[in-house]
Amino acid sequence: MVLHYFRNERGAETLVGEMQKLGRRALAVQGDIGTKAGIQSIARAANEKLNMPDIIVINAVNQIHPWAYVTDASLEDYESQFRTCVMQTVLLAQTFVPTLQERKWGRVIGINSECTMQMLETQSAYVAGKRGMDGVLRVLAREVGRHGVTVNQVAPGWTLSQKDRENPVDDSSYCNSVPLGRRGTDQEVANVVAFLASDLSSFVHGAFVPVCGGNVMPAV
Would you please indicate which residues are annotated as catalytic (active-site) residues? 126
Contact assessment for residue 91 and residue 41, using Cβ atoms and an 8 Å cutoff: no
Residues in contact with 82: Cβ distance below 8 Å, sequence separation at least 6, in sequence order: 128, 129, 132
Q: Residue 90: what residue type?
A: V
Selection from 105, 114, 79, 110 nearest residue 93 by Cα: 110
H-type helices in the chain, by residue range? 9-21, 36-49, 75-81, 88-103, 115-118, 124-144, 162-166, 172-177, 186-197
